[in-house]
Amino acid sequence: MLTAVRAWILLSALLCSAGWILSAVHQLNRIGYLVVFAFAAIAVVYWRRKSAQPVSAGIRRSWFKLRRRFKRPAPLLFFALALLSLASGAFYSPANGDSMSYRIPRVFHWLSQEQWHWIRSYDSRMNIAGCGFEWLSAPLILFTRTDRCVFLINLVSYLMLPGLIFSVFTRLQVRPRVAWWWMWLLSSGWCFVMQASSIANDSFAVIYALAAVDFALRARRSRRMSDLWLSMLAVALLTGAKQTCIPLALLWLIAIWPGARLLLARPVATAALAGVCLLVSAVPLAFFNLAHTGTWIGLPRNLGPQSKQWGNTQLNSPFWGIVGNTFCLSAQNLKPPFFPFAGAWNRAMRRFLQTPMGTHFASFENFGFLSRGVSEGEAGIGLGICVLALASLWAMRRCAHTPPAGGVADSDRLLWWLRLTPWALLLLFMAKVGTYQNARQLAPYYVFLLPLLLVRPGQVAVVRRRWWQCLGLVVMLLTAGLVVVARNRPLFPAETIISWLETKYPDSNLVKRVRFSYGSRLAVESQRNAFREYLTPQEPVIGYASLLGGCEVGFWLPFGSRRVERVLADDTPEQLSRSGIHYVVVEDSALKMSDETIEQWMEHYDGDLVAQLQFPKAIDGPPGQLYLVRLRSKSEAKPATAHSRTSPASRLLMHELIACNPAPPTQPTCQPVS
């Protein structure tokens, strides 16, 4: 495990630093990456020859150890979760909302320009969000020409999670037996398992956080410079992954403080490594955010039209932020896997915000919002782990009189601070972050909250109880069941079963809700493949008018066939013509923002409607709309428009289209216009 973690940290540092360096020299392309990989291979060969460690013998010992370990139920269930995650990620294309809206699209933009650059977009997240995950995914997308393999980043991180949890817990004086059970149980947390097969970027950063603390604590005893250097790289990668992870760097400062003087033993090498750490950390992005927006985080309070679409992340009052997040995080983590009362719950939350008490939480984004199911987009640590933790605390009170076997005196102040500080960081997180999906954004923090509770001597007796072990295995089985029935990536014949239920119970509201829930994946697939028969490789540039851009990824694929340019409301027809744009995909969100219809948009840009796609957005709301518009060239005659912004022919076509293609409740449809 330790060798794999070291290799992963070094590879992550290599890819993150290569991304910025290649961007600086305008060589973010295949040749640039091949040169970087060649130098890395030479360095690895040189290190292997210089090192006298027998690697093959260690691999054989680790293999036999793994074979023995996975004969026990808890490790076997973790292995099953890993296999299910692999199957889930391999069978289905990515569907994570945030990643499809801005994380993967901006990688396409960078690679097309062969450098990182500030992208013209209404969604400021395209530029201001952390780049760590994107720099890892860039070479995968570049060489495979698709985003289907990006989930492997999360899967590889997930496989290293149990071993790192055990190592950190035992160094924080959690008993080995207790740490052994909880390393498997925490690895079955919903946020970790759900994201292991997706392209979300919340849980993968926990590996960097655990490694930073682990190698810093190792260096206290080993006195090895390599451990300190790896710890520095890990914490730098942690801050570069996401801005919400930056407070966890305080844990590293506490852990490394006793051995900090060791860094002065080789000041030149340490200074060079510090430069690499700055490059892979949040510093480069903070510099560009400060230059373009005036704030290092890149998020001014007045965000413009997009602020109401994806919410503020800064709360007005820290006190009410802590109070509100105590409720929101508890509700999100204690929500059952299936929550059919989400509609009534969310309506009650909206009514509460209109009360005098509710006004204190107005700065939250969709305060108290809950979805009907569990997915990687909103899952926290999960109901099962929360119940098991509460049961352990309750049982510990009854077992507290049991004397610990081979007890360890808790006399190290440093370890006491390392167990207590994560709870202070939790309060800081709750005081500042007000997004409605903050349970999954808290993923790197969950693991560090447990040692303060598990270090109590009574936990040794609790984990020996048969009922507790059975409950832990049930929690892991529940997580495996959730992966199988996940609405975005079901591992059972969902379409066949739902079609049979629709035939047998055509008027059932429950069946309709199930169809809508599992139909969301079909809607994402339809958007991903929208208008593919019209957008041929002969069109090198495609325009895309949108607010958040959740459909952009499909227009890039296969990567290298065309380029997508965002079309903003103040762009003129002449600008589009100079950019070589002949087709524009118009999303209804862009029309609503500019308060115009598709007819008015086509009149302004002198275009013709080619096709339209309708897809469900909400079970009781209007469907979403995508329009493919072909812009007329200068040689084409423009239809006469005497007193209307829209020509009679275009208006007639639109009326016929809407009449013949009503909004379906579940299935997306694409309608061509002749």
335-382 per-position pLDDT tens digit: 998 888 888 899 999 999 999 998 889 888 889 898 888 888 888 999
Look at residue 70 and give its three-state secondary structure.
coil
279: Cβ contacts below 8 Å, ≥ 6 apart: 16, 17, 20, 21
* Segment 415-427 mean pLDDT: 94
pLDDT of the residue at 26: 94
Question: 648 falls in which pLDDT band (50, 70, 90)?
Answer: very low
Indicate if the pLDDT at residue 302 is higher than 70: no
Longest dimension (CA), the chain: 92
pLDDT of the residue at 63: 61
Indicate if the pLDDT at residue 292 is higher than 80: yes
Question: 62 falls in which pLDDT band (50, 70, 90)?
Answer: low
Q: Which residue has the higher pLDDT, 406 or 186?
A: 186
Indicate if the pLDDT at residue 516 is higher than 90: no
pLDDT of the residue at 620: 65
* Segment 513-541 mean pLDDT: 80
Question: 645 falls in which pLDDT band (50, 70, 90)?
Answer: very low
Look at residue 671 and give its three-state secondary structure.
strand
Interaxial angle between packed helices 225-241 and 249-256, expressed in degrees from 0 to 180 and rounded to the nearest 10: 170
Least confident among 284-293, 388-397, 401-410: 401-410
Least confident among 87-101, 288-302, 410-424: 288-302
Burial of 556 (0-12, 13-18, 19+ CB in 10 A): buried
Question: 260 falls in which pLDDT band (50, 70, 90)?
Answer: confident
* Segment 303-329 mean pLDDT: 70
Question: 531 falls in which pLDDT band (50, 70, 90)?
Answer: confident
- Looking at the DSSP bridge assignments, the partners of residue 583 are 630
Category of 595 on φ-ψ map: left (φ > 0), alpha (ψ -120 to 50) or beta: left
Question: 245 falls in which pLDDT band (50, 70, 90)?
Answer: very high
Least confident among 3-17, 144-158, 383-397, 543-557: 543-557
Interaxial angle between packed helices 283-293 and 267-280, expressed in degrees from 0 to 180 and rounded to the nearest 10: 50
* Segment 195-211 mean pLDDT: 94
User: Phi first, then psi: what are they for 68, rounded to 5°?
Assistant: -70, -40
Report yes or no: 83 and 159 within 8 Å, Cβ to Cβ. Answer: no
Rounded to whole angstroms, the Cα distance separating 214 from 452 reads 16
Peptide bond into 162 cis (omega under 30): no
pTM: 0.88
523: Cβ contacts below 8 Å, ≥ 6 apart: 615, 616, 624, 668
* Segment 404-421 mean pLDDT: 70
Indicate if the pLDDT at residue 397 is higher than 70: yes
581-618 per-position pLDDT tens digit: 999 999 888 888 888 889 999 998 989 999 888 877 76
Per-chain mean pLDDT for the chain: 85
Rounded to whole angstroms, the Cα distance separating 356 from 362 reads 11
Q: Which residue has the higher pLDDT, 621 or 71?
A: 71
* Segment 145-163 mean pLDDT: 94
Question: 635 falls in which pLDDT band (50, 70, 90)?
Answer: low
Q: 255-260 long-range contacts, Cβ below 8 Å, gap at least 24?
A: 255/212, 255/213, 255/216, 255/217, 255/231, 255/414, 255/418, 256/216, 256/219, 256/228, 256/231, 257/414, 258/220, 258/414, 259/216, 259/219, 259/220, 259/223, 259/228
Percent pLDDT > 90 in the chain is: 50
pLDDT of the residue at 656: 35
Look at residue 565 and give its three-state secondary structure.
strand
Helices (H), ranges, 294-374: 307-310, 318-334, 342-353
pLDDT of the residue at 323: 93
Show the tokens assigned to 383: 């109901």
The DSSP 8-state label assigned to residue 626 in this structure reads E
Question: 494 falls in which pLDDT band (50, 70, 90)?
Answer: confident
Question: 282 falls in which pLDDT band (50, 70, 90)?
Answer: very high
Indicate if the pLDDT at residue 498 is higher than 90: no
